[in-house]
Chains A and B, each alone.
Chain A
Amino acid sequence: MTSTTDGHLAADLDERRAGTSTPRFVAGKVGGALASLVLVVVLGFLLFRMIPGDPVATMTRDRPTSPEQLALLRERLGVDKPMWQQFLDYFGGLFQGDLGTSYMYSRPVADMIGERLGPTLLLVGTATVLAVLLGMWLGIRAAWKRDSAFDRVQTGVALTLWSVPQFWLGLLLLIATQGLFPSRGMRSPDVPEGFVAQSLDVAWHLTLPCVTLLAVIYAQYMLVMRSSLLEEMGSEYLTTARAKGLRDDLVRRRHAVPNALLPAVTLVFLQFGMVVSGTITVEAVFSWPGLGLLTYEALRGPDLPLLQGVFLVLAGSVIVMNLLAELLYRVLDPRVRAS
């Protein structure tokens, strides 16, 4: 029994933990996301069938209609078919980009969502980018000077704004700015042609809804950045960095912040989907022609195909963003690559 050699010992000490290969990891995550997406489709379909009330009766509530007309309408909308067949029609249609036809507007739902997607992305994208930049900058400063006046005031302000209802803040801003910015819509009718003029006009309209959204959502980025940086600040590798003779701001920029950023990045992506669904009130207040306003309109119907389509897009965006977060995290954190 003398199988032990130095070679063996050295091999023991040199074990490297090999991670999953990247294609396999990506395939697994994408597969998981697709499965969630199918569940969302099924759930969306069932959910809106469970809403009480007859859509045909709702559509015709203000007009006298004969039973023949009602039957005709039912047939045209496809609600006379059995539930399973309705689902198969709907599911099959999805693969051709067909989300059904709106009851109220008699237009393809896919087209309507397509029109509204741009304005929402513009609003949510701008607000998120600004909120992330502002939140992280404030979070880093607050953590680095923990318990300072700056830290206390900024944390307090952020938390207050976070707890304010969006519509209320929107209305307040409208009153406070006294007509400095337009109160509704995305474009003015009398703006000359040309990219620059048009862009400026959109930006002018964008200001208030964007500020409203930004003010409410930046707190979470700030607080996550602050707490994750605070957690890193006790780390020994920062003492190593200081011992090397690095300046304080280099210690922070090169060593502390990259580590603290990891949880914050995940949050940014996870929250993006939530922020999209959260724009309903802001878009309603400022009549911003986006998905939120569309949802609001669809709810008044209720316009089932439209609601179903919006639900699918909103839930789908959460899933896609979640997937992106996981893929990005793998790029950012070498430890995730290994385990």
Chain B
Amino acid sequence: MTDQTGLSGLVDRAALVTPPVVARRVRGLSERAIAWLFITPTMLLLLAINIFPLIWTIRLSFTNYRANRPNATVLDVGLANYQSILTDPDVWAAMTVTARFVFWSILIQTLLGFALAWLIDKKFRGHGLWTTLILLPMMLSPAVVGNFWTFLYQPQIGLFNYIISALTGAPASSFQMLAQVPLAPWAIVIVDSWMWTPYVMLICLAGLRSIPDYIYEAAEVDRASPWRQFWSITLPMALPFIMLAVLFRGIENFKMFDMVNLLTGGGPGSTTEVASITLKREAFEKWRTGYSSAFAIILFVTVFGLANIYVKALNRVKSR
């Protein structure tokens, strides 16, 4: 029987629709060679747009190169850029701001996201409509979200201030979410949570829906209370999904730029200057290309390292 399945079949079919000159060559190639032929363009593309810039960035991080001074001599400075970054109090301040932002936004998003997923999973009447409505913020562009929340936070005409005013009795213009040092970081956490809680909810919902009904039925037979079912079945079985959502949001929020840039620009002062804002200023405003390359590598290693540790923990949870 002619082998019409698998790679050789595919090769023959490809050869049939290939011009004779090319086909003769294709028939002469081994399966491994054909496979390489197919994946090489993709690999080259990946190398060009992913790996090469990374290697180039690492190389630049050991120099004093500045992209705005093409005529200046580029000197190897060894680890000086790394040393300078790791001893710079402004960098540590930015990292602290980032860590706080990541912690609080993820905590809020996880709690709210899971709660929403749990409610939606109850399949009440109109739950489809509610799911769609809840997902809407996630579909908006961060630029749009940043701009309209700037208006919502406006102390004189902003809806947010009016709602808080109505709830607390405090005058609407008596507090300024984006202008006051204690409030500005929370303003960003609120917007990020508003936008990305639906994303966490979606992942959690997938987790909840993957739990087979028979487990709950068995628990019911054993007269387990709803509370007990939640702690012993729902939460442990959804935990890998929750952890996955935390991982995705953690990586994203560590790199957060657009929303912060639009809402506060890092201010007031440097109160909301997250690491990516500092990096952008160093790279594209001060044009310290070598220094900012080192900073980018440090951020990359931090995220990569933390994500790896986390993935190991996630795998342990999944294997239980």
Indicate, yes or no, whether A interacts with B.
no
Q: B residues bordering A, Cβ < 8 Å?
A: none
